[in-house]
Structure 1
Amino acid sequence: MNDPWWLMLIKVLGVFVFLLLTVLFAIVIERKALGRMQMRPGPNRVGPKGWLQSLADGVKLALKEDITPFGVDRVIYTIAPVISTVPAITAFAVIPFGPEVSIFGHHTALQLADLPVAVLFVLAMSSIGVYGIILAGWSSGSVYPLLGGIRSTAQVISYEVAMGLSFASVFLYAGTMSTSGIVAAQDRIWFAFLLMPSFMVYLTSMVGETNRAPFDLPEAEGELVGGFHTEYSSLKFALFFLAEYINITTVSAVAVTLFFGGWHAPFPISLWAGAEQGWLPMLWFTAKVWGFIFIYIWLRATLPRLRYDQFMALGWKVLIPLALAWVLVAAVLRSLRNDGYEHWEIALAGTSTLTTVLVLVVLHRRFSAVNTLRVEPAPTVPDVASEGSFPTPPLPQHNSSRVKEDVNG
């Protein structure tokens, strides 16, 4: 990209402001939506109808005392929040917001950087960001943050494998790892319909990758107090909070780019000739991203936290085998396309739909069987009041009258 330096600076500031505003609105919208779903009032005090609550929370965190516990590794303890936040922002550099537009007479794409291996760059940045969580747990010098960091390590290893395998079929049919090229390959039909099993695997993996409910095991409050950030306060804690919501926005944008056509307008709006020209595609992209952010909110309000063994079993025994099997099926259908088979799109869409339905049916039966296990009836206990047998002796009679006599003396 041959943009002048001032245009690159405008793009950098635009991406940063977009992420910052998205985080501010996502926090307050999440709290309001959770309140509505749980039949209680959400934030309604700060600002008009509570819409400035997230801004007030940020000011409060900035003004709180920054406490550093005794015995921490001060250098790593200090830079760990930065390691979590900076890669989360950097990963958004390769996400295309729209087609070419004119900015002060210069024609440029609404994308900060277009790399030939852009999707691998996103995976690399997400992997580096998790080091912040791991180092925060280790450097705190406390048991619960350390356990949260260890859980985060296992979580990343498990779910990034499945996430990478879900990308493989996208690369097969797009013919490129460039995000702009993948968006261009979806001008007719989105990959979410052609590669539905890959989309379902990615949808599950992105929730586990961002440590959100029901996969928020590294910061499980009921087990680990607060997890990896238990010993953090003030701006350091705010950076972890910011990194979490920026990661949510980033993986949602990746889902939109790889599976939902990126900035392409949805049907039937796409039938309008001007729907994908100028700055208007940025509106479709933003709306799709917010759709995935709402899925995060919905999951948090609906599903309880999984047990650790259930969480690991889902990654290794379900997602990874499913992603591997689907890559093989997608490769076979891709070879038919290369051989000139005319109806490859219909065959691919039908196979992906059938595979997704079969997997959902199998999972439903598996988890339903847990609730329908045959429970043996408990052995009957003899009437201890009539027989006076072990383990409970006969209850004393007229207990209340005896107590009154003892009190009255």
Structure 2
Amino acid sequence: MLAQLAAEFPDFWPEWSIPYWLMSILRVVGGLVAVLLPAGGIVYLFLFKMMSFMQSRLGPMEAGPYGSMQLLAEVGKWMQKEDLAPENADLRIYRMAPLIVLLSTFLLIVVVPFGPQAWFTNFETGIFYALAVGSVSVLGILIAGWSSANKYSLLGGLRAGGQLIAYELPMVLATLGVVIQAESMNLNRIIEVQNTGEIFGIGWFGNPFIITQFVGFLIFMIAVQAELTQAPFDMPIAESELVSGYMTEYSGFRFLIFFIAEFATAGVFSFIAAALFLGGWGVPFEWFGWDNLGDVAWWMNFVGPVIMFTKMFALVGVIMWVRFSYPRFREDQLQTFAWKVLIPLALANTAVTAILKVVL
């Protein structure tokens, strides 16, 4: 787009470029904002307020207006607590585990596009990268459970490992239908196809894949719920059985890192779901978004992040609504649901999508 503008208006287009070091700093700052800001917003809006109203109570109200500063108070409290470790723990990897879990979230956000040029990386195989990196957190959870020298932590880690492995497959299969329809694994290309596509020859609404891939969307969101170990898939934590599962022995800022990673990952997975099924940073381009060169308007790089955050919070609201509404599965029910229901359904959805793609 910049090359087109330069060719169209050679006398008015300045010759400038952002230094690599400055671009690197901007990307780091942008990554921190894209991970930590949603995490804080999710905790305040859904954990403090939505859950409270669902349970007919006000929630935190004393720290700041309507309890808006409660999150800062919680962070300050955990930062002040002593960093303890069990006597028999493997200290080196015990302390490393929370960082691995949080690092996987930061590695995941780099593939999310927020506008036509507002992205950290523009991988041609972006969705493949996202699904691969999303599995890294399993290693951190297994390490946390094993290195704690606690039987409850070990059980929680093993449960988490089995659960996340089981639900990785339906998540991957759910995205195959999107990849087949878009004929690309590049997330920006997938977003473009949805916003420029047509349904039955009508282009005004675009072609958001949540319509044609609704089954895949449901499978993907269920798998995300399980990946996040949110109820009804919270067996790895299961306070009534395992105290706090793999997090039992953690305190202070290391427990805080697990806490941040949980909600930050919910936000990042919702960003990816918005890109795959809800049109991502765009709205149907027949509404607005085109410039006079027939390309995506430059100002979509500023409007796009707002649209992405709006869709992300809507999807996280669904995740939290399910979390606060349903009881926990038994371990056998969880595995049965993944292997006997979700995976066959995802395979059928992929097969039907492939057949229709060839026929139509």
By the TM > 0.5 criterion, same fold? yes
Cα separation, 2, equivalents of 1:270 and 1:9: 35
1:104-253 superposed matches below 5 A: 109-187=117-195, 188-253=206-271
Determine if the alignment matches structure 1 residue 280 to structure 2 residue 290.
no
| CA offsets 1:160-183 (integer angstroms, 9 cap, x no match) | 000011111111111111111111
Gaps of 5+ in 1: 100-108, 338-409
| CA offsets 1:209-261 (integer angstroms, 9 cap, x no match) | 11111111111101100000000000111111111111101110110011110
1:59 to 76, 79, 83: 76
Contact 1:8 1:112 (8 Å CA) reproduced: no
The change in CA–CA distance for 1:58 and 1:116 in structure 2 (over 3 A counts) is same
Cα separation, 1, equivalents of 2:357 and 2:256: 46
1:349-364 superposed matches below 5 A: none
1:9-408 superposed matches below 5 A: 9-30=25-46, 31-99=48-116, 109-187=117-195, 188-265=206-283, 271-272=287-288, 277=297, 278=299, 279-337=302-360
Cα separation, 2, equivalents of 1:273 and 1:182: 16
Cα separation, 2, equivalents of 1:270 and 1:234: 51
The change in CA–CA distance for 1:3 and 1:260 in structure 2 (over 3 A counts) is farther
Amino acid at match of 2:119: Q
Contact 2:89 2:147 (8 Å CA) reproduced: yes
CA drift at 1:274: 6.9
CA drift at 1:11: 2.5
Contact 2:156 2:245 (8 Å CA) reproduced: yes
| 3-state SS, counterpart of residue 186 of structure 1 | helix
Contact 1:198 1:323 (8 Å CA) reproduced: yes
Amino acid at match of 2:78: L
Cα separation, 1, equivalents of 2:85 and 2:107: 28
Amino acid at match of 2:356: L
Cα separation, 1, equivalents of 2:288 and 2:106: 34
Contact 1:89 1:246 (8 Å CA) reproduced: no
| CA offsets 1:293-324 (integer angstroms, 9 cap, x no match) | 11122112211111111111111110000001
| 3-state SS, counterpart of residue 83 of structure 2 | coil
| 3-state SS, counterpart of residue 85 of structure 2 | coil
Q: Answer with 6-15 or 40-49: which moved more.
A: 6-15
Contact 2:111 2:119 (8 Å CA) reproduced: yes
Cα separation, 2, equivalents of 1:284 and 1:25: 16
CA drift at 1:3: 6.3
What TM-score do you get using the length of structure 2 for normalisation?
0.87
Contact 1:28 1:51 (8 Å CA) reproduced: yes
CA drift at 1:63: 0.5
CA drift at 1:48: 1.2
| CA offsets 1:81-128 (integer angstroms, 9 cap, x no match) | 1110011111000100012xxxxxxxxx10000111111111121111
The change in CA–CA distance for 1:10 and 1:224 in structure 2 (over 3 A counts) is same
Cα separation, 1, equivalents of 2:257 and 2:221: 25
What TM-score do you get using the length of structure 1 for normalisation?
0.77
The change in CA–CA distance for 1:282 and 1:55 in structure 2 (over 3 A counts) is same
| CA offsets 1:40-88 (integer angstroms, 9 cap, x no match) | 1211111111011111111111110111111001111010011100111
Cα separation, 1, equivalents of 2:36 and 2:289: 32
| 3-state SS, counterpart of residue 110 of structure 2 | helix
Gaps of 5+ in 2: 1-16, 196-205
| CA offsets 1:329-371 (integer angstroms, 9 cap, x no match) | 111101113xxxxxxxxxxxxxxxxxxxxxxxxxxxxxxxxxx
| 3-state SS, counterpart of residue 318 of structure 1 | helix
Percent same amino acid at aligned positions? 35
Q: Which residue of 2 aligns with 1:103?
A: none
CA drift at 1:4: 3.7
Q: Which residue of 2 aligns with 1:390?
A: none
Q: Which residue of 1 aligns with 2:10?
A: none
CA drift at 1:201: 0.7
The change in CA–CA distance for 1:246 and 1:32 in structure 2 (over 3 A counts) is same
